[in-house]
């Protein structure tokens, strides 16, 4: 039996996305892949839609229902712990909104054979943001990644704010999730920072980051400001932590090309990997 992959998806008002997402994830034909939604009593009924899916697809779709909006960070921590407790060897994290194309997941899993963390990155060569993003939005995202997190925390990861990643079980165990305190969006930055501090082998692979298909972002101006300020709090909390010397990065070329060709052959896939930097996942 192949190792279990758990895709953890936090949801808040994603009722129109979750069924499409499940269909797409299951059509990837990744062996032993399961999906865990962590829903915060979404007013639009996402929790019920996800629950219906869990009933239709027992053992493949799971839902954690939380009583109210408790934040992205705590949703992920709860989801990761649940995934580890249920035997996942690989844990994928992603948005529900198709900004993170499921088509990349086989490639993530290919790289995860040799790396501890695989990050879908908008800021490595070949990575790309949706053409519809305004100049202001681009600038803010670039500033957060290329200036802010680098300046305050010294993170080397180019897309430290991104939320599309694949963790090996051992990586999450080494990070020690109990130490992660970020409840909101800055969770992504803290996890990146903690991964670097733990000396994990990190691979950033280029992704095309599409604008969400349906629904609205929960990322308001206030949330952005709060995330920016919370970076200082992370710096303070980790002030006594020493970075563990990073293990040498492995050579990965053969696996990368093999996995890419598998994805290209996928029937009917819209193929974010086909002409990756151009194709929109919509
Ligand atoms: N459970 C839970 N999910 C959340 C919360 N805030 C955002 N999400 C989900 O986290 C993912 C990322 O949020 P999104 O609005 O897409 O942020 P953006 O991609 O930065 O615009 C989506 O799947 C949201 O539904 C929250 O407080 N609780
Ligand atoms: Mg999103």
The helix/strand/coil state of 55 is helix
Chain-centroid distance, C-alpha 74: 14
Q: Which of 49, 65, 72 to mutate to test the pocket of ligand 1 (most atoms within 8 A of CB)?
A: 72
Which ligand does the CA of 67 lie closest to?
Answer: 1
Q: Give pLDDT, residue 276.
A: 39
User: How far, in Å, are 127, 141, 206, 263 from residue 133 at the CA level?
Assistant: 14, 10, 18, 27
Quick one: residue 98, left, alpha or beta (phi over 0 = left, psi -120 to 50 = alpha)? Answer: left
Distance between start and end Cα atoms, the chain: 33
Q: Give pLDDT, residue 250.
A: 63
Tokens of 45: 């009924």
Q: Give pLDDT, residue 246.
A: 62
Query: Which ligand 1 atom is at minimum distance from the Cα of 38?
Result: 1
Q: What is the largest CA-CA distance in the chain?
A: 51
Q: How far is ligand 1, taken at its centre, from the CA of residue 10, in Å?
A: 6
Q: Which residues of 186-197 are buried (b: 16+ CB within 10 A; e: fewer)?
A: bbbbbbbbbbbb
CA distance 216 to 202: 31
Q: How far is ligand 2, taken at its centre, from the CA of residue 98, in Å?
A: 7
Q: Give pLDDT, residue 167.
A: 98
CA-closest candidate to residue 38, choices 71, 65, 70, 19: 65
Tokens of 82: 């649940």
Q: How far is ligand 2, taken at its centre, from the CA of residue 246, in Å?
A: 31
Q: Is 73 in the pocket of ligand 1 (CB under 6 A)?
A: no
Domain 4-237 sits in which CATH superfamily? Spore Coat Polysaccharide Biosynthesis Protein SpsA; Chain A (3.90.550.10)
User: How far, in Å, are 36, 84, 91, 226 from residue 88 at the CA level?
Assistant: 11, 5, 7, 32
Q: How far is ligand 1, taken at its centre, from the CA of residue 147, in Å?
A: 24
Q: Is 218 in the pocket of ligand 1 (CB under 6 A)?
A: yes
Going from the first residue of the chain to its last (282 residues), give the mean pLDDT of each consecutive group of 10, the final group possibly shorter. 95 98 97 98 98 98 98 97 98 97 98 98 96 91 91 95 97 95 93 96 97 88 89 92 70 46 34 36 32
Q: Is 219 in the pocket of ligand 1 (CB under 6 A)?
A: yes
Q: Give pLDDT, residue 277.
A: 35
10 Å CB burial of residue 107 (0-12, 13-18, 19+) is buried
Q: Give pLDDT, residue 146.
A: 87
């Amino acid at each position: 039996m192949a190792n279990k992959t758990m895709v953890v998806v936090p949801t808040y008002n994603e009722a129109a996305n979750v069924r499409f997402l499940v269909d797409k994830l299951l059509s990837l034909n990744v062996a032993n892949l399961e999906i865990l939604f962590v829903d915060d009593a979404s007013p639009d009924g996402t929790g019920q839609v996800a629950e219906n899916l869990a009933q239709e697809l027992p053992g493949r779709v799971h839902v954690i229902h939380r009583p109210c909006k408790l934040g992205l960070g705590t949703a992920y921590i709860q989801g990761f712990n649940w995934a580890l407790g249920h035997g996942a060897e690989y844990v994928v994290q992603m948005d529900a909104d198709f900004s993170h194309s499921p088509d990349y997941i086989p490639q993530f899993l290919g790289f995860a054979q040799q790396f501890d963390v695989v990050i879908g990155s908008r800021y490595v060569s070949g990575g790309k943001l949706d053409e519809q993003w305004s100049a202001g939005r681009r600038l803010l995202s670039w500033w957060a990644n290329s200036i802010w997190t680098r300046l305050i925390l010294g993170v080397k990861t180019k897309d430290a704010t991104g939320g599309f990643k694949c963790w090996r079980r051992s990586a999450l165990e080494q990070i020690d999730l109990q130490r992660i305190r970020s409840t909101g969006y800055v969770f992504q930055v803290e996890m990146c920072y903690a991964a670097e501090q733990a000396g994990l082998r990190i691979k950033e692979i280029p992704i095309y980051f599409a604008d969400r298909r349906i629904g609205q972002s929960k990322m308001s101006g206030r949330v952005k400001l709060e995330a920016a300020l919370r970076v200082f709090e992370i710096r303070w909390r980790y002030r006594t932590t020493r970075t563990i010397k990073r293990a040498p990065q492995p050579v990965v070329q053969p696996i990368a090309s093999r996995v890419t060709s598998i994805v290209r052959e996928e029937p009917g896939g819209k193929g974010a990997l086909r002409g990756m930097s151009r194709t929109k996942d919509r």
